[in-house]
Amino acid sequence: MSAERVDVREKVLSASDQLAAEIRARLEANGVFAVNLISSPGSGKTTLLERTVDLMKESLRLGVVAGDVQTRNDADRLLRHEIPVEAIETGGGCHLDARQVSKSLEGLDLSKTDLLFIENVGNLVCPSSFDLGESMKVVLMSVTEGEDKPLKYPAAFKRARVLVLTKTDLVPHLQFSPDHAIENARAVNPDLTVFSTSSYTGEGLAEWTGWLAGQVAVLKRNKGSGESAGP
Amino acid sequence: MSAERVDVREKVLSASDQLAAEIRARLEANGVFAVNLISSPGSGKTTLLERTVDLMKESLRLGVVAGDVQTRNDADRLLRHEIPVEAIETGGGCHLDARQVSKSLEGLDLSKTDLLFIENVGNLVCPSSFDLGESMKVVLMSVTEGEDKPLKYPAAFKRARVLVLTKTDLVPHLQFSPDHAIENARAVNPDLTVFSTSSYTGEGLAEWTGWLAGQVAVLKRNKGSGESAGP
């Protein structure tokens, strides 16, 4: 890569990081806990979100920013669950960027949001390099993807706070060891919190949503505003 | 994106396309049919390749260039099948580029290769934009990924000549319609040749490898060299 290109890239990244910092400040000012969901295409991000919002929307005020390379399919699926959803179509772009997210947040009332999900483009490589101002990154990995994914795509696992293993109902039909996969993930990032889930059977969803609710509660308490987290 | 960045990017792409054209000429001069395999992480590229080389290595001279973001895991798995394999670790890069492939080809004897597989980095977005000098792109999609992937990630399906649907043995355990997925893929690219395969049960592998062997035979015939395709 030429020095010229690196310079331009650094400028672009730095402007993006600046904007991410602004988003983070806006979210914090409004007491919003924001989760940036990263995974391969087809790992089950949207289905997990559908189950998650159904379990959480009675007790917390939710919002979603749903990114896709093309189509509004994911956003449309989530809108059926009667929560505020903003769609981003990247038009070929391989990750969400802070500019897109910042613009989408204009469509949501952050003062009435406790928990925001940002569903990134399906891509285990590029999205992990971009700060969107989120509170934390969550990496999803389905049990059909093979145990060595954390070793082969380490950046996403390194930068995530949480690993959600999805589609565990399929384990009996696969040559896949969840323990081995989790061991590989922890070799890359020993601090990962791990949830094993099936959006089909519901396994692990109470633990996952309970943990998320706890994160929101901690944020509210630290903010010390005494605001209600109820809808 | 700044005009400056676009200019630099165009220069980089153009140099890359130039190098891809050089690779294509080298492959053609040696009568090598080259397949660039593109898919999400965990779609089963390496496992399909393992089965494919086992079925084809007695009748054709094979070679593999195996790309990964990190580790040589895929290359090591393929080396066990006693064929020439070159590994590329992109070190974070989200796709293979022509420079990497060109360098890897130095490690293979192209004059003794009939069929070359280039296993791209697991990513359904970025690799589709980069010409590696291949004879054709093949996109893989596993049945666990959901029927709408071709609509959401159209570039890979548009630019591919072949779709290999993988892991069909799992269909009974999923809410997934192969027909619907193939219909979506053909909505994006009506000319796609489609193979439905399971590397586990062997379904569809005879059709897939037979078709590949036919492509190699056509290339040899068109080259009109009268060379033997045997090892």
CATH of the domain at B45: 3.40.50.300
Tell me if chain B has a CB within 8 Å of the CB of A214.
Answer: no
**Biggest distance spanned by C-alpha atoms of chain A:** 53
Mean pLDDT of chain A: 93
Of the candidates A131, A155, A125, the residue with the CA atom closest to the CA atom of residue A17: A131
Q: Cα B4 to chain center, whole Å?
A: 33
Distance from CA of A215 to the nearest CA of B (A): 30
Asked if B121's CB is within 8 angstroms of A124's CB, the reply is no
The percentage of chain A sitting over the pLDDT mark of 90, rounded to a whole number, equals 89
Question: Is A207 domain-assigned?
Answer: yes
pLDDT at B224 over 80: no
Asked if A40's CB is within 8 angstroms of B146's CB, the reply is no
Residues A68/B66, Cβ–Cβ less than 8 Å = no
Question: Is B37 domain-assigned?
Answer: yes
Question: Is B231 domain-assigned?
Answer: no
Q: Cα A199 to chain center, whole Å?
A: 16
Q: Which two tokens stand for residue A25?
A: 């400040």
* Residues in contact with B45: Cβ distance below 8 Å, sequence separation at least 6, in sequence order: B37, B39, B74, B119, B120, B122, B140
* Residues in contact with A20: Cβ distance below 8 Å, sequence separation at least 6, in sequence order: A98, A130, A131, A132, A133
> What is residue B201's DSSP assignment?
T
Q: Cα A153 to chain center, whole Å?
A: 17
Asked if A170's CB is within 8 angstroms of B144's CB, the reply is yes
Angle at A159 between CA A158 and CA A161, to 5 degrees: 100
Q: For tokens 């596993």, what's the residue? A: B142
Q: What is the pLDDT of residues B102-146, one digit of tens each?
A: 999 999 999 999 999 999 999 999 999 999 999 999 999 999 999
Q: Which domain holds residue A89?
A: 3-222
Measure CB to CB from residue A70 to each of B126, B151, B173 and give the nearest one: B151
Q: Which residues pair with B196 in a beta bridge?
A: B165
Q: What is the pLDDT of residues B172-206, one digit of tens each?
A: 999 999 999 999 999 999 999 999 999 999 999 99
pLDDT score recorded for residue A169: 98
What sign does the CA torsion over A199, A205, A211, A217 have? positive
Element (H, E) at A180: helix A178-188
Q: Averaged over A156-178, what is the pLDDT?
A: 97
Asked if A69's CB is within 8 angstroms of B154's CB, the reply is yes
Residues B163/B157, Cβ–Cβ less than 8 Å = yes
Q: What is the pLDDT of residues A16-55, one digit of tens each?
A: 999 999 999 999 999 999 999 999 999 999 999 999 999 9
Question: Is A115 domain-assigned?
Answer: yes
Question: Is A41 domain-assigned?
Answer: yes
- Note the ipTM here: 0.89
pLDDT score recorded for residue A223: 85
Measure CB to CB from residue A152 to each of B2, B73, B141 and give the nearest one: B73
Round the CA-based radius of gyration of chain A to a whole number and report it. Answer: 17
Round the CA-based radius of gyration of chain B to a whole number and report it. Answer: 17
Residues A32/A54, Cβ–Cβ less than 8 Å = no
Residues B40/A40, Cβ–Cβ less than 8 Å = yes
CA dihedral B154, A124, A82, A19 (to 10 degrees): -100
Domain tally for chain A?
A: 1
Residues 96-125, chain B, touching A (beta carbon < 8 A): 121-125
Question: Is B79 domain-assigned?
Answer: yes
Tell me if chain B has a CB within 8 Å of the CB of A40.
Answer: yes
**Which residue in chain B is spatially nearest to A143 when comparing CA positions?**
B42
pLDDT at B7 over 60: yes
pLDDT score recorded for residue B231: 42
Question: Is B34 domain-assigned?
Answer: yes
Q: Which two tokens stand for residue A159?
A: 């930068």
Q: What is the pLDDT of residues B46-62, one digit of tens each?
A: 999 999 999 999 999 99
Question: Is A227 domain-assigned?
Answer: no
